[in-house]
Structure 1
Amino acid sequence: MTARRTTEAEDVVWLRSGSALPSAARREGTELARRVGLDEERIAGLRIALTEAATNLQRHAGDGALALRVVRFGDRPAVECLALDSGPGIADPGRALADGVSSAGTLGIGLGAIARLADSFDLYTRQGQGTALLARFTVGDAPEPGAPGGPETAVVAGLTRPISGEQLCGDTWAAHEDAEGVTVMMCDGLGHGPLAARAAEQARAAFRGTALTRPEDLLRHLHSALKGTRGAAVAVARVDLATRRVALCGAGNIAGFVLTGTERVPLLSMPGIVGHQVRTLRTFEADLPTGALLILHSDGLRDRWAPADFPALPRHRPAVVAGHLLWQTGVRRDDAGIVVVKVPPA
């Protein structure tokens, strides 16, 4: 990678499971696809995949939703679908992914055909807990970062969900990637609704417009940029790809940690409200071993869980990790936001 690439939170269309879910998914997905220039043949494949994913949620999930959005890889947009549910999980994922295997009442094409139609596909499931499915349809033919045959770069993905009853979300995230590493921000605008969303958008704009990479310098920059807003909890982290170390500086209630298959290594934030009062800044560091993830999330996600609750989750794509953790640990009484960074083996 020779130039900086910026990845940001995108607007998410959340569709809850119900009788109208398949038709709503096709309508919203088609609108997004045409907005970014997906051709009609690819739109047809997207509509099939959305119908199958939505019908599976209808018939088998106790509680579930589709999250639809546009994501971008440089100048290449894609329509992404995350199907998230609370169980019962898939007993035999290998069989479910075989072409022609489908739940009763669906199109009869099964999850295997969704995997074949999509440019990117990933599935995490655990019996008794739930399933997270990713299907992504990308404009153009070049492989995306992190895909087989694609550039060996860090992969960053996040997800936000507003509090029940609101359209705007006060949580946001953004990331810069360059040749030396990844700089990532998680922001939780105080409260919820339009004023919280305004603070979050101002933080994202300030992050987008700076070349700073040192977490403490960046947090001071954001503190100045958020004056005049209601303020926010913010954490900024920097991943050094050469040393495989991560440094984090934060103020307010943002959880940061390195997740391996067996442990969570915390990266602490100090008390304060960015944009209003930040007295003491400290930077905390940790190793980022091969296969580990850097995760930042707002207090819209519960923090009382162990890696053993989600076995093998770090092996999956960051979008699946973000979606599954948000759905399984998120609370509906607050905005929720999470961002996940995965780097290639050294």
Structure 2
Amino acid sequence: MIRSRDESWVRVEDASAIGAARRAAMTLAESCGFDEHDRGRVAVAVSEAASNLVKHAAEGVMMIRSHPETDAAVEVIAIDKGPGIHDLSRAARDGYSTTGTLGLGLGGIARMASAHDVYTVLGRGTVVGMCFTATGTTPPVPLASGLARPIGEEAVCGDAFAYVESGSTVIAMLCDGLGHGEPAAVASREAVRVFQDHYDLPAVLLLERIHHALRGTRGGAVSVARLDRAAGVIRYAGLGNVSGWIVHAEGRQGMISLPGIAGHQRDKLREYDYAVPPHSLLVLHTDGLTERWDVTAFPGLSAHTPAVVAATLLRDAGTRRDDATVLAVRAAP
């Protein structure tokens, strides 16, 4: 069972933020049981990534958390709206740097991290995903990942997501608690609790359970998707202003969410079936992301890790005027 966890978001726009990002990652690595050597690897890679953001990027930010699929790994994602990298293969060499790019330090990051992924588009920016595990252990290879960013300076995000793999099926849920802050988070946490107890139900029945459970809360917008990889079908039920998309190289297909607020008002809930093209992604997001993003503006993005996909969409489609959450699920292993 995977659910959204506490994430530390650090703005990295001046040199003073480099130390803050490094300390946050080191503290987390220690809590994950990393020894001094492995904590040192984390410190070097995070410092390099943060330094790159300060030197070359615009609107740089780092997300630091324990890995969603294990308590024994640290995940760090560096996100920027900088110039992008002209030649990624050259930039990844140790010591390589070109003015106006994020080349410096990528080679070191690749050596220090247990796994990493870089996605860059000229003129739009770069996302660097890093995973750290103890020496000699294999990093997880997730087929799904999400990010939840609170509005403004709020410490708590009112959105939440959860997903679970069961054989060839992935069941995913996303909740946008009404409003923001702790009252909204109460509703979203309740949606996650119900999901954990009843994820084996059909999508529409699970949504019904969540709707009843949220009656004592502010309520929220909720989407539930059952992705059957073997059959190539998504069964989707949504209520309120949440978005579900099937994303492929040529474009995207929207899925239907009915009007209403889970926990308060709704018409008869319905479940819809959608065919899943090969090499596609399931993307769920709250209305903290605009629906106007265009997948063709992100060439090759679907080939990257779900965490990098989610971070890229959050950067380019997210709004600072609301909590923003996005969950990406690969349609085939």
**Same fold at TM > 0.5:** yes
Given the superposition, is the C-alpha separation of residues 211 and 14 from structure 1 closer, same or farther in structure 2, using an over 3 Å criterion? closer
Counterpart amino acid of 2:130? A
Partner AA of 1:7 in structure 2: I
- Counterpart contact for 1:123–1:131, Cα < 8 Å: yes
Q: CA deviation at 1:140?
A: 6.8
Name the residue aligned to 2:52. 56
Which of the residues 260, 263, 267 maps onto 1:279?
Answer: 267
What are the within-5 Å matches in structure 2 for residues 143-154 of structure 1? 143-146=138-141
What are the ranges of 5 or more consecutive residues in structure 2 without an aligned counterpart? none
Question: What does residue 68 of structure 1 align with?
Answer: 64
Q: Match for 1:114: what amino acid?
A: I
CA distance in 1 between counterparts of 2:49 and 2:178 reads 35
Q: Distance in 2 between matches of 1:221 and 1:71?
A: 29
Superposition deviation, residue 42 in structure 1? 1.1
Q: Which of 141, 159, 176 is matched with 1:188 structurally?
A: 176
Q: How does 1:39-50 map to 2 (within 5 A)?
A: 39-50=35-46
Aligned to 1:294: 282
Match of 2:28 in 1: 32
Aligned to 1:3: none
* Paired amino acid for 1:333: R
Indicate the RMSD between aligned Cα atoms, in angstroms.
1.7
1:231 touches 1:274 (CA, 8 Å); kept in 2? yes
Contact 1:265 1:286 in 2 (8 A): no
Cα deviation for residue 285 of structure 1 reads: 2.1
Correspondent of 2:74 among 56, 75, 79: 79
Distance 1:291 1:189 in 2: 31
TM-score by length of 2: 0.95
Residues 163 and 334 in structure 1, CA contact (< 8 A), matched pair in contact too: yes
Identity of counterpart residues, as a percentage? 42
Q: Cα gap change, 1:21/1:102 in structure 2, threshold over 3 Å: closer, same or farther? A: farther
Is residue 244 of structure 1 aligned with residue 232 of structure 2?
yes
CA shift, 1:245, in A, is 1.1
Distance between the aligned counterparts of 1:189 and 1:158, measured in 2? 16
* SS of equivalent to 1:226: helix
Distance of aligned partners of 1:139 and 1:279 in 2 relative to their CA distance in 1, 3 Å threshold: farther
Task: Give the CA deviation at 1:78.
Answer: 1.2
Q: Secondary structure at the match of 1:344?
A: coil
SS in 1 for 2:198: coil
Q: Which residue matches 2:106?
A: 111
* 295-304 or 241-250: bigger deviation: 241-250
How far does residue 67 in structure 1 lie from its aligned partner after superposition? 0.6
Q: Residue 127 of structure 2 contacts residue 312 of structure 2 at CA under 8 Å; is this kept in 1?
A: yes
Q: Report if aligned partners of 2:282, 2:331 keep a CA contact under 8 Å in 1.
A: no
Give 1:41 shift: 1.1
15, 21, 43: which one aligns with 2:10: 15
Equivalent position amino acid for 1:292 in 2:
S
The SS at the match of 1:209 is: helix
The C-alpha deviation readout for 1:234-277, integer Å capped at 9, x for no partner, is 00000002112111101001110111111101111000111111
CA contact (8 A) 1:145 1:155 kept: no
Equivalents in 1 of 2:80, 2:264: separation in Å? 38
- How far apart, in 2, do the equivalents of 1:307 and 1:340 lie? 13
Name the SS for the 1:219 alignment partner.
helix
Query: Which residue in the other structure is 1:100 paired with?
Result: 95
Does residue 137 (structure 1) correspond to residue 132 (structure 2)? The answer is yes
| 3-state DSSP of counterpart to 1:202 | helix
SS state at 1:15 partner = strand
Paired letter, 2:112: L
Deviations 1:153-204 (A, max 9, x none): x611000100002111111100011113000001100011110011111111
Residue 251 of structure 2: which of 246, 263, 267 is its match? 263
Q: Secondary structure at the match of 1:304?
A: coil
Match of 1:150 in 2: none
Contact 2:306 2:328 in 1 (8 A): yes
The one-letter code sitting in structure 2 at the alignment partner of 1:231 is G
Quick check: 1:76–1:140 contact (8 Å CA) kept in 2?
no
The AA in structure 1 aligned to 2:80 is D
Please state if 1:125 is matched with 2:125: no
- How far apart, in 1, do the equivalents of 2:246 and 2:199 lie? 25
Is the Cα–Cα contact under 8 Å of residues 5 and 68 in structure 2 kept in the other structure?
A: no
